[in-house]
Amino acid sequence: MVNERDEALEMFCTAMDMKERKKTLYEDAMSTCPDQVGIETFRMLRDAEAEHLKQIHETYEELKKGKVWADACKYHPVEEEDEDKKAVLRKIAEEHGKMPKACLDDVAAIETGMKLENSSVDFFQKQLQGVLEDPVEREFIERMLVEEREHYILLADLKYYYTDPESWFMEKSKARLDGAGRRIASKGDFT
């Protein structure tokens, strides 16, 4: 019979494998990407996966030693900068102007990343459905799930940027069809 500790260790092994595959994908994509927007996006994702991998490995090692979740779980979410990841992507794109459509390799790497992130979301959702009596374990898995979803959204945004750059710029810059650009809200807009 498999006990709760063994199930947790198995979960960590699977999570580390998934994180390692994503980190490698993003590193490879970053090295072949022709533009700064893609490079920065893949770098952010690679670094996030590397940090998650390190934290998961540390917790895994502590659990292997027989510690309980509360003592083993040293996972802390990476501190976000003032801007969210989408804002960073938007800022880089604005600095480098409109880019031509990505080569098929870039879009393929993005789609592969999206599939891997989605697999991670599915994996962590299944973990939440199991019997999780320990609130620290539940919190850990919920945070991982949120971060996997954020990575998926970031990749979806990058894919949109590459496959339809004109629409992406219209949406992200809040430009209006009359060409007047971003509309500044007036006091009367909020009443």
- 3-class SS letters over the chain: CCCHHHHHHHHHHHHHHHHHHHHHHHHHHHHHCCCHHHHHHHHHHHHHHHHHHHHHHHHHHHHHCCCCHHHHCCCCCCCCCCCCHHHHHHHHHHHHCCCCCCCHHHHHHHHHHHHHHHHHHHHHHHHHHCCCCCHHHHHHHHHHHHHHHHHHHHHHHHHHHHHCHHHHHHHHHCCCCCCCCCCCCCHHHHC
Task: From 129, 161, 155, select the one nearest 142 (Cα to Cα).
Answer: 129
Amino acid present at 154: L
Please say whether the beta carbons of 103 and 30 come within 8 A: no
10 Å CB burial of residue 78 (0-12, 13-18, 19+) is exposed
For the question of whether the overall pTM of this predicted structure is more than 0.75, the answer is no
Residue located via tokens 């580390």: 16
pLDDT digits (tens, 9 = 90+) for 33-80: 877 878 888 888 899 899 888 888 887 787 777 766 555 555 444 444
Distance CA 141, CA 5 (A): 15
- Digit-coded pLDDT (tens) for 90-143: 665 565 555 544 555 678 888 988 999 999 999 989 988 875 677 777 888 888
